[in-house]
Amino acid sequence: SVYVDYASTTPFDKEIMEKVMAGADVFGNPSSIHRIGKDAKAKLQDHRTRIAESINAKPKEIIITSGATEANNLAIKGTAGRHEKPHMITTDIEHASVRTTYQNLSEQYDVTFLKASEDGLIDVEDLKDSLQSNTVLVSIMLVNNETGSIQPVYEIAKVLKDHQALFHIDAVQAFGHMEVDVEALRADMLTLSGHKIYGPKGIGMLYLREGTKLSAQITGGSHELSRRAGTENTMWVEALALAMEKADSDRARRSLKEMQLKERFLNELTAKEIPFEVNGDVNRQASHIVNLHFPWSEAEFLLTALDMTGIYVSAGSACNAGTVQPSHVIQAMYDDEERALKSIRFSFSHLMEEEDVLEIVSQLKAIYERLYGN
Ligand code: PMP
């Protein structure tokens, strides 16, 4: 069987799991003032330092959360809630954790949703035109989770440089595949998730630039600099630190392998004469993701047929709980519901081999021939 859905989640690295388990006897509550607590606090501080180093931040700029969904909610609601009549800008291709949060806020506040074009990208000129004197926050993802499109975040940061608006970047699908440096990106806030980088599920973080004001969404004790209350999940913080370090140091090798697999996949589809089109601009996409339009079949049918042959892939975001809905990203790009219903996202990993890619194509070819003969 072949799992080719690494953008939805990755397996937890066994080496990291074992290392974390081996340290489980440092069990104290980092807030306790006795020795057992202090030992845990020192370890936690060490993990936080390493997490910060992986994105060129300071340890006190890292807020640990239960994942990127919570981190995105904190960034957006924690900023909106501080202003009387805020205007905020995002895009119509964001992950549900950003999009739904803004959709809900738009009932009360002024929110602009920038449109992506057929190349999958946001136009920086549109952003310039949308900025207002009361714009307090701009949320734009670095890599789109459905198409892999790399948004022009460096140009956007330049535009925002002389504006008060905070720049919030969802970098969940970028980290480990390209450089994520909060200084180079000029991010005020940036979110990451553990389970997309071979760490555990249920852990993530928000980078918050020193001096940036943000209202806590989970209140209680003074954990995470009073931005996120609750006893720290020290073992999973260690796992996140280890996963980030490993993804960072192995980045060149991993992304090269992903690119080779993707290229081989597309070449093989062409060689086997299976009709397809790449959604978006294939030259402006992350190494591990490609989204294909198969005009000859509904995605739902293809996914089920592939599942029966042991090929595990999705139509797009896994967040719509097991249902195949037309992808809002493909629809936003092409304004074409049929195309959105006939598109599939393949997401690769350095753990895959060339034979895996050949197996996917061979199964696709068999399905195509069953439908249309040869
Ligand atoms: N943002 C993006 C771009 C994602 O791909 C995901 C995961 N699907 C998330 C946010 C949410 O991350 P988590 O699962 O850690 O809540």
Domains along the chain with CATH numbers: 2-9+250-372 (3.90.1150.10), 14-249 (3.40.640.10)
Residues 216 and 209: their CA atoms lie apart, in Å, by: 15
Q: Which pLDDT does position 161 carry in this prediction?
A: 95
How far does the chain reach from its first CA to its final CA, in angstroms? 25
pLDDT tens digits, residue range 220-274? 999 999 999 999 999 999 999 999 999 999 999 999 999 999 999 999 999 999 9
Residue 190 pLDDT > 80: yes
Residue 365 CA to ligand 1 center (angstroms) comes to 32
d(CA 159, CA 204): 28
Helix (H) / strand (E) containing 366: helix 354-372
Distance 54 CA to ligand 1 centre (A): 19
Question: Mutation test of ligand 1: which of 74, 145, 206 has the most ligand atoms closer than 8 Å to its C-beta?
Answer: 145
CB 40 within 8 A of CB 26: yes
Q: Which residues are catalytic?
A: 319
Q: Check if the beta carbon of residue 98 is closer than 8 Å to that of residue 76.
A: yes
Say what the pLDDT of residue 318 is.
57
Give the Cα separation of 90 and 177 in Å (integer): 23
Read off the pLDDT of residues 259-314 as tens digits, 9 standing for 90 and up: 999 999 999 999 999 999 999 999 999 999 999 999 999 999 999 999 999 999 99
What's the pLDDT tens digit per position in 16-40? 999 999 999 999 999 999 999 999 9
User: Percentage of the chain with pLDDT > 90?
Assistant: 96
Query: What's residue 326's pLDDT?
Result: 87
pLDDT band (50, 70, 90) for residue 143: very high
Share of the chain above pLDDT 70, in %: 98
Q: Which residues are near ligand 1 (CB < 6 Å)?
A: 67-69, 95, 97, 141, 145, 170, 172-173, 193, 204, 319
pTM of the model: 0.97
pLDDT at 316: 76
Q: How far apart are CA 287 and CA 272, in angstroms?
A: 23
**128 and 89 Cβ atoms separated by less than 8 Å:** no
ipTM above 0.85, yes or no: yes
Q: In what order do the strands lie in the sheet with 135-139?
A: 62-65, 204-208, 189-193, 166-170, 135-139, 87-91, 110-114
| Strand-pair partners of 346 | 290
Which residue CA neighbors atom 16 of ligand 1 most closely? 69
Residue 325's pLDDT band, with cuts at 50, 70 and 90, is confident
Q: What is the mean pLDDT of the chain?
A: 96
pLDDT for residue 317: 64
pLDDT of residue 371: 93
What confidence score (pLDDT) does residue 374 get? 60
Would you say residue 145 has pLDDT above 70?
Answer: yes
Measured distance CA(352)–CA(348) in Å, rounded: 7
